[in-house]
Each structure stands twice: as C-alpha cells, then as structure tokens.
Structure 1
C-alpha cells in the first residue's frame, strides 16, 4: 500500500468517526434509557480516542 493510499484510508476513517460520533450524540440526546445513554456516551468517548490516534498517524505520515 502506498503512502498516498494509506493517507486516503486514514482520512476516510477520520471522517467516518466524526459521522458516527455525531449519530451517537444525537441518539444519546433522544434516548430515554439512562443505562443505554451512558453506554453510548462511552462509545463516543472511545471514538474520540480512535480519532486522535488516527490523526496522530496521519500527521506522522505527512511528516515523513
């Protein structure tokens, strides 16, 4: 896999994580079950961690 292909895949996943996080936040606002809302909030938090790791990988690829 070329560097450009890898950058494109990372970019795709960064965008997809943002979409998923937004969907989870919307569902969390609409849900009435507190236990489910807590689990969804934790999932959103884990997505943020994944986003940050992908962003770091993307920056490292760009820097060389």
Structure 2
C-alpha cells in the first residue's frame, strides 16, 4: 500500500517538504510493518531522495 500524505508528514525527513514534493514521492513509497525494536536502518545508511535532489546519511547519537 502506498503511503498517504499524512503518513509521509509523520516521518521527520519528509515533514518539511512541500505538498507537491510529497505527492511526487508517493509512487515510490510502500507501507510496511516491522517488529518492535527491529533495525530497519543502520548508522551510515544513505537515504537518497533523487526526485528532490537531496541526500541524507543516517547518523545515530552515541
């Protein structure tokens, strides 16, 4: 299932995007469920948002 605009807005890295940018990301989204405490990203993982030309590197505080 594709993520809704509301769901995308709840994700910190997408929260500040304009509505048009979120709409352009929607076709590339997929809602998935994960177990509590399951690791889905690790430090140094890259999240590339090519449709808005931004790249994020995931860093976790120590």
User: When the two structures are superposed, what TM-score results if normalisation uses the length of structure 2?
Assistant: 0.24
Considering only CA atoms, is the larger Rg found in Structure 1 or Structure 2?
1
Q: Which has the higher helix share?
A: 1
> What's the TM-score, normalizing by structure 1?
0.23
